[in-house]
Amino acid sequence: MAIRKLLLPLMGTEAGEAALLVALMAARQWRAHVAAVHVRHDGREVMQIAGEGVSGALIEQMMVATEREAMQRAEALRAMFLRVVVAQGIAVASARPDAATPSADFAILTGRDEDVVAQAARVADCTVLARPDRAEDVTTSDALHAVLFDSGRPVLICPRVAPARLATRICLAWSGAAEAAAAARYGLPWMKAASHVTVLTHPAYTRRGPDVEALAAYLALHGINVDAARFDRGDAAIGPALLAAARDHGADMLIMGAYSSSRLRQLILGGTTRHVLEHADLPVLMCR
């Protein structure tokens, strides 16, 4: 079982560059292909939001301006992609089934980010995305949640600064829930290639389901030996405590399930998934 195709939606140059570097690190590790895509909004959508009473000439001007801005943004992302990929010594080429070396290409698609990205993610092993924060453009967050909820595939959320290494020491957050089980399943190739895997647990994080001993026995069947550690929560919420534990264990990847409680509840009240999405300073492989 290996990673052969990574989808990389590019939406901004600054955060996108760090995500691209992480995707290329993974591609080099797995000799995989990075399919970088930028989704342009259809300029004709201006007609739908302009409303009645707006002249045809003004709508046309708005469409032209929108198209010009979209093209400039797409070309800036293409230039960044080529600069980084060439500097990393990765071939700019289409995916090939018989490829023995990593490769990457860039495509511009048209539509709504969340629709296009979720559909493209269904034919990729993993989607790599920059970590959103509270000040981030909403499209990044929408694309992230579309992958989590509507692709059936995992997403690798990248920190704002690319790490020096990737998935050599992994922490797996285990709650016993179905989302955690899905994350563990998609994390198998990463854990199998890692030098050390630690399973993090806490009674306040645990839900009804298999305990950590049952998980360890399952992973051992895949040739993955793990250490189990109960992380210290103290007075902190689960999210901050989980990230602190991953740092304490020297992890360069955290694997976890997403949204065991509803997304709406987490948006209003906060929650583990939301905190990790907003504050993680290491790559996080999530699955729901």
Mind listing the pLDDT tens digit for each residue in 89-145?
999 999 999 889 999 999 999 888 889 999 999 999 999 999 876 655 545 578 888
268 has pLDDT over 70: no
User: What integer pLDDT is reported at residue 267 of this predicted model?
Assistant: 54
For 169-287, CATH gives: 3.40.50.620
Contact assessment for residue 148 and residue 259, using Cβ atoms and an 8 Å cutoff: yes
Which tokens is 103 given?
A: 């490769």
Domain with CATH 3.40.50.620 in the chain: 5-158, 169-287
Tell me the pTM: 0.89
- Is residue 205 within 8 Å of 234, Cβ to Cβ? no
Burial of residue 151, with CB atoms counted within 10 A of its CB: 0-12 exposed, 13-18 middle, 19 or more buried: buried
Q: Is the pLDDT of residue 45 over 80?
A: no
The answer regarding whether domain 5-158 maps to CATH 3.40.50.620 reads yes
Write down the residue that tokens 């290409």 correspond to: 105
Query: What is the model's pLDDT at position 261?
Result: 63
Strands lying side by side in the sheet with 169-173 = 91-92, 103-110, 33-40, 5-9, 126-130, 155-158, 284-287, 253-257, 169-173, 196-201, 227-230
